[in-house]
Amino acid sequence: MRFAVLLLLAGSLGCSDATQTADSGCEKCANDSGAPGDGGPADSGPIDSAPGDGGPKSYSTNFLGVENPISENGVWTNGGTVGLDWQNVEKNGGFAYGTGTSAGYDDCIAHLNGFPANHFAQATVHVASNYTPPSSHEVELLVRFEITAHSARGYEINCGWNGAYSQIVRWNGALNDFTYLNPTGPGFGALAEGDVIKATAVGSTITVYKNATQVMQVTDATWVDGNPGMGMFIRPNGTPKSYCYTSFSAGAL
């Protein structure tokens, strides 16, 4: 979720990755090793304590099976089905990707439920060979996120295709209502197949990693609860399965 003043913002973090722009999308290939419609129980680790009980929680998935929108036995809340004004995330045979493109800022988003305020979200990136989107395409991590009817709020950490920009964005609730934050650090740079990206929310600090190396950090005290999740942002004529995720995990901190 971002906007198109890419070149003007490119130097805002002291590097070539504009951290003040947005646009995204995700695409993936199909290589289904799970049974279609199985909901993914074979590869999805259950949240390990009851939602809302304040206990430790963790979750992991490799996106086996086929679901649109992603559910995995009801653990995911989606931006289209629940939020109504955004779009859903789909999984198919080892990939999770956006269900559609966006002319505005109705990203494809989904989050888990019942996590404490301090948590992490982590994902492994898929980048298709020779893919060049016609415009913006992002993969996103979400922390402290909460989707309800006509509201999506929390923090989005995104990376535009080929390292076009990296951002930490606060979502304020209503569609198109978001605030670009001003993180320190160089940003993600271009992501390659198999790169692991991670975001942690601890207290009022959000810290972002690429392959275990810190690349961004910001402090913002607006949202003090919510859940880990994932998202994609794809401008029209992008291909969702070309830039997306092959695994996702989350845990309490």
Distance of CA 65 to the CA centre of its chain: 20
Q: Are 207 and 199 in contact (CB under 8 A)?
A: yes
Q: Are 33 and 93 in contact (CB under 8 A)?
A: yes
Reduced to 3 states (helix: H, G, I; strand: E, B; else coil), residue 66 is strand
What is the pLDDT at residue 25? 33
What is the pLDDT at residue 76? 98
The mean pLDDT value for 206-233 works out to: 98
Confidence class for position 114, pLDDT limits 50, 70, 90: very high
Tell the burial category of 222 from Cβ atoms under 10 Å away from its Cβ (0-12, 13-18, 19+).
Answer: middle
pLDDT > 80? residue 97: yes
CA angle 97, 243, 156 (to 5 degrees): 70
**Could you tell me the pTM of the whole model?**
0.83
Percentage of the residues of the chain whose pLDDT score is greater than 70: 78
The mean pLDDT value for 46-62 works out to: 68
Least-confidence region, from 21-25, 192-196, 197-201: 21-25
pLDDT, tens digit, 9 for 90 and up, residues 118-158? 999 999 999 999 999 999 999 999 999 999 999 999 999 99
The mean pLDDT value for 28-51 works out to: 42
Residue boundaries of the structural domains of the chain: 6-36+58-252
**Who wins on pLDDT, 9 or 70?**
70
**Who wins on pLDDT, 121 or 19?**
121
pLDDT > 60? residue 116: yes
Superfamily of 6-36+58-252 according to CATH: Exo-inulinase; domain 1 (2.60.120.560)
pLDDT > 60? residue 192: yes
pLDDT > 70? residue 36: no
Confidence class for position 44, pLDDT limits 50, 70, 90: low
The mean pLDDT value for 224-249 works out to: 98
